[in-house]
Homo-oligomer: A and B are copies of this chain.
Amino acid sequence: MAERPLEHVVELAGGVGGARLAHGIQAHLGAGLTVVVNTGDDLERHGLLVCPDHDTVLYTLAGLDNRALGWGLEGETFANAAMLAGYGEETWFRLGDRDLATHIVRTRRVREGQRLTDVARHLGASLGVAARILPMTENAVRTKIRTDDGWLDFQTYFVRLHQAPEVRELRYDGLAEATATPEVEAALAAAEAIVVAPSNPFLSLAPILGVAGIRAGIDAARARGVPVAAISGIIGGRAVKGPADRILVSLGHEASALGVARIHAPWIDLFVIDTVDAALAPAIRELGLDVLVADTLMDTDEARARVAGTVLEAVTALRR
């Protein structure tokens, strides 16, 4: 094949799965990768602005992600959290001593009037990240979860209650007023391919797609012949990480790669499923999508780069 190599790829990402895929793509494209991250699970803790999805992507792209915990920084310590607890602070959302520096720097800069986008650039540059990480919007968006006990903040559901309650309904406070930043719009306009991470369709991707300008930017890119590929976060009917499988069922969908494909079908071209789900390929093709069957687990650096390479190769072939 003699296709032009991809130079500009945009990834839409939530937390861990998005971060791992981004790490793999960065290994191929370096600064050619722009990651648009969900900010719907951002929160204030102890008066500090915490952006969990952004920071997971940041630390992973910097090679500082904690592989053992699956979140936070490698070699993290928690002396501060113990002291905060002594002051009666709730510490179920544990902030590590090093991680805290990110929130302190971010909070000060935002209070001084800097845009979250500019703060993200500073953080990424400081940690030597080649790719660009863009918050989906400058507007505050806060995902809320309705359970049988009423509406919960996202992290109350996700971290404090360990995603145990059944999800009955979702809403995204502030999303109706949120607009894409000029940087996100420019990235989509320059994209040669768009890759959608194996992130939770409702908790991570829906808020990104709901930001005014992002879905329009994706549609405009497709109209130019730019392929959009999404990777299933459901393998063998189960979420690789997190509660996506259960939420799919709760909200009336099928907990399978096919169920996810049906949700994304209107705005993507290629759906990537794991080899264990190969039997679902015909049904997904019937949705009008191309299907790539591949090993999609990204449990090592090598697997991240391999999965990313496979997806990049497939979208390159789809470019018009």
Query: Residues on A close to B: CB < 8 A?
Result: 46-48, 76-77, 79-80, 82-84, 86-89, 96-102, 104-105, 107-108, 111-112, 122-123, 126-127
Contact = CB atoms under 8 A, between A and B. Distances in A.
Interface of chain A: mostly helix, strand, loop or mixed = helix
B86 A101 contact: yes
A173 B97 CA distance: 34
Contacts of A82: 98
B97 A84 contact: no
19 contacts: A46-B108, A47-B111, A79-B96, A79-B98, A80-B80, A80-B98, A80-B100, A80-B104, A83-B97, A83-B102, A84-B101, A87-B101, A87-B102, A87-B105, A87-B123, A87-B126, A88-B126, A97-B97, A100-B100
Contacts of A126: 86-88
Contacts of A99: 83
Contacts of A122: 87-88
Contacts of A108: 46-47
Given A48-B104, A80-B98, A83-B100, 14 more contacts: A46-B105, A76-B79, A77-B77, A77-B97, A79-B96, A79-B98, A84-B101, A84-B105, A86-B101, A86-B126, A86-B127, A87-B123, A89-B105, A100-B100
